[in-house]
Amino acid sequence: MITTLHPTPEVSTSVTGRKPSKRKTFSVINPATGQPFAEVPAGKISDLDAAVAAARATFSVWSATPDRERQRLLHAVGDALQSNMAALMELVTKETGKPLKGLNGVGSGMEVGGAIAWTHATADLTLPIEIIQDNDEARVEVHRKPLGVVGSIPPWNWPLMIAIWHVIPALRAGNTVVIKPSSLTPIATARFVELANEILPPNVLNIVTATSDSRVGSAMAGHPGIDKLVFTGSTATGKKVMQNAAGNLKRLTLELGGNDAGIVLPDVDPKKFARKIFGVGFHNNGQTCACLKRLYVHETIYEELCAQLAELAKNVIVGDGLDPETDLGPLQNKAQLDYIEELVVDARSHHGRILAGGHPIRVDGYFFKPTIIADVTDGIRVVDEEQFGPVLPVIEYSDIDDAIRRANANSNGLGGSIWSNDTEKAAQLAMRLECGTAWVNEHGALQPNAPFGGVKQSGIGIEFGHWGLEENTSIQTVKMMKRI
């Protein structure tokens, strides 16, 4: 059945005062079937202009709302997400393909649950006035002030949760927001906006759904009425966002591509560590920026760990995410499926040894067998490029210094990990990785009170905790002289 979602009244009517006319829509595909399951409005740049104007008009009211009231309203949004969790999970599964539960519990339940947790945690954050001087001569205070209108462009892999990561800190700081979800996965985000707009004042949160060729996204980056843009996506697109944002020196938070390396030390027992390593490389079908995507394994345990990972890959249940038994669903879109197949074909041509998987599953939908590739190394596409799919290249090394050098040689720097029984030694090695977050015996685990962001070409800016909240503000220093 095809469900039609309508634009929020704030975007359609608040500026013109007229009822919305019949407008064009575009289809949203269920990647498990390859067929449309919903229609959403095909917004235009004029809709973006209206949304920005509405957000700007209400900024003075929202920014002046007492802090405790903004806090209360955002907690109410979190409660609304909780009350609608089951329905939101189904929407997330239908548009992304991720299972309801998923491998190691990483599925749409985790996505919606994470969205709820981040909403409440962010609502609890405060930015108190800092007093840096208070003596007989003067009092100097540092204030954090909201920026104005914040634009949000979340990706298709975790559409609802990353929308929350963008939107809630911006609102908490006193900004108004315009969000444009991915054209591939706009449904759960649109529902979140509907729920939030039953609680928030009109025009505080606005949404424009649009196709990828509408130029609405690029117009957001260059829009003079948007004071900051938060974008999560590819490095190539992030660079275009920076270029377009230069016109009004728009502030940016960019969380871009990652090609995260994990290094396994020789003291590891492959049987003990394999399941955890497999999980952090394959959850959400590898479609997570901070998934483990390159695995460097010491030569003494290389073959055994490869064999263990291959056995796990062969036994994973791949299917429709609405089936509660499914571990991994389809890739989110056909282009990503084709790209994964291209990388595997290239690896084969360079004598990569396919230990498991290595081919699409020829059914309706965008399914690919979980794949382990041995005997590849740096310089081959499947190692050098971010796969963003259910493919893990395993690379043999003999010297730890060389392994760290190779891990750091990539232009990305989002996350990295060291795996060892000696956690103190592993932590010291982790500090040598050139990445925004380094894990020991873990990979990709995020939490709302720990800062997250990339270095090198994996982005600029920080999300989460008071660090992320501060990025939605400007600093104003107030100096009050006590002697005249």
* 451, 469 contact by CB (below 8 A): no
Q: Please give the Cα distance from 84 to 191 (Å, whole number).
A: 10
Q: Please give the Cα distance from 418 to 424 (Å, whole number).
A: 11
Q: Please give the Cα distance from 195 to 79 (Å, whole number).
A: 10
Q: Please give the Cα distance from 430 to 418 (Å, whole number).
A: 6
The secondary structure of 264-285 as a DSSP string is E-TT--HHHHHHHHHHHHHGGG
Q: Which DSSP category does 128 fall into?
A: P
| One-letter amino acid for residue 122 of the chain | T
Whether 90 sits among the annotated catalytic residues: the reply is: no
Residues 6+ apart with CB under 8 A from 52: 149, 178, 206, 223, 225, 226
Six-digit token string for 62: 């929202």
Q: Please give the Cα distance from 108 to 284 (Å, whole number).
A: 9
Q: Please give the Cα distance from 270 to 281 (Å, whole number).
A: 15
| One-letter amino acid for residue 67 of the chain | D
Six-digit token string for 143: 């204030």
Which position among 10, 111, 289, 306 bears the catalytic label?
289
Distances (CA, A) of 306 to 273, 295, 297, 422, 451: 12, 10, 9, 21, 33
For helices 270-282 and 302-315, give the axis angle rounded to 10 degrees. Answer: 50
Q: Which residue matches tokens 């939030």?
A: 196
Among candidates 469, 463, 478, which has minimal Cα distance to 174?
469
The secondary structure of 416-450 as a DSSP string is EEEE-S-HHHHHHHHTTS-SSEEEES--S---TTS
Q: Which residue matches tokens 């190692």?
A: 383
Among candidates 103, 98, 99, 463, which has minimal Cα distance to 281?
103
Q: Please give the Cα distance from 389 to 144 (Å, whole number).
A: 40
Which position among 10, 95, 194, 255 bears the catalytic label?
255
* Strand pairing category for 353-356 and 292-298: unpaired
* 372, 294 contact by CB (below 8 A): no
- Count CA within 13 A, CB hemisphere, residue 305: 30
Whether 289 sits among the annotated catalytic residues: the reply is: yes
Q: Please give the Cα distance from 332 to 336 (Å, whole number).
A: 7
Q: Which residue matches tokens 């969205």?
A: 115
Cite the active site residues.
Answer: 255, 289
